[in-house]
Copies of this chain bind each other. A is one copy, B any other.
Amino acid sequence: MPLAPWRSSLARALHLNRSLIYARYVQLATVRTDGRPANRTVVFRGFLDSTNQLKFITDDRSEKIEQLTAQPWAEVCWYFPKSREQFRLLGQLRAVGANGPEPLLKARQTQWQDLSDAARLQFAWAAPKQPRAEASAFHPPPPDPIQPLPNFCLLLLDPVQVDHLELRGDPQNRNLYIYNPEQQNWQIEAINP
C-alpha cells in the first residue's frame, strides 16, 4: 500500500515538534454505548508496517473496548504546538487482543516488547476506573517482557478522512484528504479554514 498523501505533512509535523515528547500525545474520540462522546489522551506508537494505520495501545478492561465494539468509528485530534497545526483523523478503530485477529498477533507482540518496563507494568495493575485499590495493587511483579499479558491490546486506526489545518499563514491553510475506496486513492481538496 502506498503512503497516503497526508503522511508527508504528518511526518514533517512530527519532525518539527520532535523536541516535545507530548507532541506524540493525541486525543482519541469515540462514542459511548449510551450515544454520548468520550475523549481521552493516548500515545501515538507509529504506523503499522507498510500501512497507513496508526498504532495505539490500550487495556481490554478499559471502556474504549466496549465503545468501539458498538461504534468502531473514532476521530483522533492531533495538535502540534511548535508548528501550530492540527490533524483530525477519522477512521475505524480496531482492537487486537490476545484472541487476534491472527495476522496481527505478531504486531501486538512486537508492540508489547517495544514498551518500557513501566508501561508494561501498568497492564498488571488493578483494573482501571474501579474504586481505588490499595498501593500494593500497583506494585505487582514485572510481567514477562516477551509474551503480552492477556489484557494488552494493540489499537489500530485506519483513517479515511484527514483534515489538516495550519494556523500559520495569512490566511490559514486547510486541506481535506478523503479516501475513495472504489478508486483506492485519496482525493485532496483545499478548503476554507
Contacts and interface: CB of A to CB of B under 8 A. Distances in A.
A51 B163 CA distance: 34
Contact of A74 (B37, B125, B189): B37
A138 interface: yes
Given A27-B29, A40-B86, 20 more contacts: A22-B81, A29-B77, A31-B31, A31-B36, A31-B37, A35-B73, A37-B37, A37-B74, A38-B90, A39-B88, A125-B171, A128-B192, A128-B193, A129-B174, A129-B192, A130-B192, A131-B191, A132-B190, A135-B171, A138-B170
B75 A38 contact: yes
Q: Taking chain A's interface residues, is the majority helix, strand, or loop, or is none over half, making it mixed?
A: strand
A73 to B, nearest CB: 4
A81 B28 CA distance: 17
